[in-house]
Amino acid sequence: MAIATPAANAAPAAPAATHEMTDGFHLVIEALKLNGIDTVFGLPGIPITDLTRMLQASGIRVISFRHEQNAGYAASIAGFLTQKPGICLTVSAPGFLNGLTALAHATTNCFPMILVSGSSEREIVDLQQGDYEEMDQLAIAKPLCKAAFRVLHAEDIGVGVARAIRAAVSGRPGGVYLDLPAKLFSQAIEAAAGRNSLIKVVDAAPRQIPSQDSVKRAVELLRGAKKPLIVLGKGAAYAQADADIRTLVEKTGIPYLPMSMAKGLLPDTHEQSASAARSFVLPEADVVMLVGARLNWLLSHGKGKTWGGKDHKSWGGQKFVQVDISPQEADSNVRIDAPVVGDIGSCVAALLKEIGAGWQKPPAEWTGAIAERKDKNIAKMAETLAKDPVPMNFQSALNVVRDLVKANPDAILVNEGANALDFTRSIVDMYKPRKRIDVGTWGIMGIGMGYCVAAAVTTKQQVIAVEGDSAFGFSGMEVETICRYDLPVCIVIMNNNGVYKGTDVDPTGRDPAPTVFVKNARYDKIMDAFGGVGVNAATPAELRKAMEEAIRSRKPTLINAVIDETAGTESGRITNLNPAAAKKK
Ligand SMILES: Cc1ncc(C[n+]2csc(CCOP(=O)(O)OP(=O)(O)O)c2C)c(N)n1
Ligand SMILES: [Mg+2]
């Protein structure tokens, strides 16, 4: 009898116990999902193409842009609007660098955002052997963000994502960089171990309660004021403590000034709003309470002529209360007599409690003097808005936008440009919190279309963008993104043929001047290319009709508003910051 060979007769050897496996791709997605991330803004390519597909397949919404900078701006403002970190996903080196401006912008503006970038082989990058898209991204990101992390092992993905989320939203929010090398994505580990390694972040942005002493000190200072003023910053808007902030303003009766992105925290038509008397209240006030507003250039550093100081650097004599999340903010520019450190919601609640009942409202001389200036300025503005010049100027066009925002108070207004920004800020009243988003701390051009996409995607509301023609150019290609996702965005381009105005000429006669563009350009035709609605509007009536139709239909719309090319001023309202040559020729 032949000896049966085991190979021929034996039952196949029992397979080694099969372990369910997972990999870096899946762990990144699960870590994000576990922490409530439902949207990612990005642009695919090596090594994250499959990640974008798998994210989408997992149910996370992936909004794919034409340039990473715009995806980054979208993520940054999604962070501002939702208090969750906005996620921007990019490829290595060039994609990462394209996203980096937005990351720095998020940090400067205190918006929670995480830039997640794929990166190349560490071993090759570190030996500088010339890898595909070689760059030490972690080192480059570090000085531009609040925190930067790299994950090398699949089992550390949970920790990496958790740390990035905490860093982005806790304390003063900001931009965080998360570096994910290509090799990480396909690293396989046992699924059970993978699941156990993930972290659901508990209390990512813990309340920070102000000390009782600091609250008492602040309220005492306010109580003794003859000419008090409250300044609301975008930190106050971010905090989502809208009802308490309104109660604080109304209960104390103190006039208030909203910074640009705090407009609408209380309706701009509120009788205590001192916006129309800004140049009167800043130098005149004796005690100023800053709520989530920093004394940076936007508030002339709290000193100088704006504040009644003798020259551009001297203190105007005001005492300041500063309510801020960061213990390092006070005294950054002038002395802060009463810092109140904590999250805005907790601070405002504590202030309200300390104020209690029986608060003496500010003297009538103060509020009366403000009302007088306000009424005069508002009447002057009404006169200007009523004019109907040909061609349109900023005021006659924005009078239409003003009406439409009033009729649609839930719409989100995106705004960038120089004159297009300044005129819109002062003419278009806002009625609800976090409805105005703009160039922020840096006065940055290019946020426009990214903000439009993020605002429409995260809030589902109608978006109206008022764009300078130069400003629009920085992100104009994203109108394709707006059409592709069929977003309810109505873009109004204030087309004055250039940067600030369209009238400059090259003294040598060779080229167009650096500030001017093609005359009478038809930006509306860009929209036609992608199936959106493009309208050329030469009169306020045409502009009104087109905007009404856009809002009614919720179709992606771009209106080219033809503005007098002589209408703007150099640098809008910050001409004083523009160095002029001492030697003229
Ligand atoms: C990223 C960036 N680049 C350049 C600038 C300088 N800058 C300030 S406003 C502006 C454009 C102003 O022109 P436009 O948007 O047409 O507004 P207008 O004043 O004409 O209404 C530029 C280029 C900037 N703020 N940000
Ligand atoms: Mg312009």
Tens of each residue's pLDDT in the chain, 585 residues: 444 444 444 455 555 557 899 999 999 999 999 999 999 999 999 999 999 999 999 999 999 999 999 999 999 999 999 999 999 999 999 999 999 999 999 999 999 999 999 999 999 999 999 999 999 999 999 999 999 999 999 999 999 999 999 999 999 999 999 999 999 999 999 999 999 999 999 999 999 999 999 999 999 999 999 999 999 999 999 999 999 999 999 999 999 999 999 999 999 999 999 999 999 999 999 999 999 999 999 999 999 999 999 998 999 999 999 999 999 999 999 999 999 999 999 999 999 999 999 899 999 999 999 999 999 999 999 999 999 999 999 999 999 999 999 999 999 999 999 999 999 999 999 999 999 999 999 999 999 999 999 999 999 999 999 999 999 999 999 999 999 999 999 999 999 999 999 999 999 999 999 999 999 999 999 999 999 999 999 999 999 999 999 999 999 999 999 999 999 998 887 877 888 777 765
CB of residue 487 inside a 6 A radius of ligand 1: no
User: What is the rounded distance in angstroms from the CA atom of residue 473 to the CA atom of residue 221?
Assistant: 48
Distance from Cα 53 to the centre of ligand 1, integer Å: 36
Dihedral sign of CA atoms 289, 294, 298, 302 in order: positive
Pocket lining: 394 vs ligand 1, CB cutoff 6 Å: no
**Alpha carbons 35 and 21: distance in angstroms, whole number:** 22
Q: State the burial class of residue 292 (Cβ atoms within 10 Å of its Cβ: 0-12, 13-18, 19+).
A: buried
Does the CB atom of residue 497 touch ligand 1 within 6 A? no
**CA pair distance 254, 288, nearest whole angstrom:** 10
User: Are 115 and 177 a contacting pair, CB within 8 Å?
Assistant: yes
Is any ligand 1 atom within 6 A of the Cβ of residue 561?
Answer: no
Please work out whether the CB of residue 160 comes within 6 Å of at least one atom of ligand 1. Answer: no
* Position in ligand 1 atom list of the atom nearest CA 473: 15
The secondary structure element, H or E, covering residue 228 is strand 228-232
**Quick check: CB of 398 below 6 Å from ligand 1?**
no
Rounded CA separation 374/543 (Å): 29
Cβ of 421 less than 6 Å from ligand 1: no
- Check if 219 has its Cβ closer than 6 Å to any atom of ligand 1: no
Whether 489 contacts 556, CB under 8 Å: yes
Expressed in angstroms and rounded, the spacing between residue 467 Cα and the centre of ligand 2 is 8
Q: Is the CB of 417 under 6 A from ligand 1?
A: yes
Q: Which residues of 44-66 are buried (b: 16+ CB within 10 A; e: fewer)?
A: bbebbeebbebbeeeebebbbbb
CA 310, 275, 408: angle at the middle one, nearest 5?
155
Which residues are bridge partners to 408 per DSSP? none
Q: Relative to the CA of 416, which ligand 1 atom is closest?
A: 15
Indicate if ligand 1 lies below 6 Å from the C-beta of 479. Answer: no
What is the pLDDT, as a whole number, of residue 7? 47
468 C-beta closer than 6 A to ligand 1: yes
pLDDT of residue 19: 86
Q: Which residues, 6 or more positions from 472, have their beta carbon under 8 angstroms from its beta carbon?
A: 416, 448, 449, 491, 493, 523
Pocket test for ligand 1, best of 445, 451, 492, 493 (most atoms within 8 A of CB): 445
Phi, psi of 87, deg, nearest 5: -105, 130
235 lines ligand 1 (CB under 6 A): no
CA of 401 to the centre of ligand 2 (A): 17
- C-alpha torsion sign, points 88, 92, 98, 103: positive
Q: How far apart are CA 395 and CA 386, in angstroms?
A: 9
Instruction: Indicate the helix (H) or strand (E) that contains 101.
Output: helix 93-109
> Hey, how many other C-beta atoms are within 10 angstroms of the C-beta on 425?
23
- The pLDDT assigned to 16 comes to 56
Provide the whole-model pTM.
0.96
Q: What is the pLDDT of residue 260?
A: 98
Query: What's at 241, amino acid-wise?
Result: A
Report how far ligand 2's centroid is from the alpha carbon of 294 (Å).
29
Say what the alpha-carbon torsion angle 52, 58, 61, 63 is, to the nearest 10 degrees.
Answer: 10
Question: Would you say how long the chain is, in residues?
Answer: 585
Q: List phi, psi (to 5°) of 289.
A: -105, 115
Closest CA to 208 of 323, 109, 106: 323
Q: Which residue has a Cα nearest atom 7 of ligand 1? A: 445
Q: Is the CB of residue 443 below 6 angstroms from any atom belonging to ligand 1?
A: yes
Question: Measured between alpha carbons, how far is 162 from 181 in angstroms, rounded to an integer?
Answer: 18
For residue 12, CA distances in Å to 18, 19, 35, 266, 556 come to 15, 19, 45, 76, 63
Is residue 473 in contact with ligand 1, taking CB distance under 6 Å? Answer: no
Between the CA of 468 and the centroid of ligand 1 the distance, in Å, is 7
d(CA 312, CA 314): 6
CB of residue 567 inside a 6 A radius of ligand 1:
no
Ligand closest to CA 499: 1
**How many Å apart are CA 275 and CA 282, to the nearest integer?**
10
pLDDT at 319: 98
Tokens of 354: 């300390």
What are the residues facing 181 on neighbouring strands? 119
Q: What are phi and psi of 38, to 5 degrees?
A: -115, -5
Nearest CA to ligand 1 atom 8: 418
How remote is the CA of residue 419 from the centroid of ligand 1, in Å?
A: 9
- Taking the CA of residue 467 as reference, the ligand 1 atom at the shortest distance is 15
**In ligand 1, which atom is closest to the CA atom of 498?**
16
Write the DSSP symbol of residue 521. Answer: -
Q: Would you state the pLDDT for residue 376?
A: 97
Mutate to test the pocket of ligand 1, among 470, 494, 569, 578 (most ligand atoms within 8 A of CB): 470
For ligand 1, atom 1, name the residue with the nearest CA.
Answer: 445
Distance 386 CA to ligand 1 centre (A): 27
The residues, ordered by sequence, that sit 6+ positions from 303 with a Cβ below 8 Å of its Cβ are 309, 313, 314, 315, 316, 333, 334
In the reported structure, the alpha carbon of residue 352 is separated from the centroid of ligand 1 by a whole-number distance in angstroms of 41
Looking from the CA of residue 501, the nearest atom of ligand 1 is 20
Spatial contact of 147 and 176, defined as CB atoms under 8 Å apart: yes
Question: Which ligand 1 atom sits nearest the alpha carbon of residue 472?
Answer: 15
Could you identify the atom of ligand 1 that is nearest to the CA of residue 445?
26
In the reported structure, the alpha carbon of residue 471 is separated from the centroid of ligand 2 by a whole-number distance in angstroms of 8
Q: For residue 470, which ligand has an atom nearest its CA?
A: 1
CA of 333 to the centre of ligand 1 (A): 27
Mutate to test the pocket of ligand 1, among 398, 499, 566 (most ligand atoms within 8 A of CB): 499
390-408 CB burial, b ≥16 within 10 A, e <16? ebbbbbbbbbbbbbbbeeb
Q: Note the ligand closest to the C-alpha atom of 419.
A: 1
Angle, helices 344-355 vs 242-252, to 10°: value is 30
Distance between CA atoms of residues 545 and 476, nearest Å: 23
- Please tell me the predicted confidence (pLDDT) of residue 507: 97
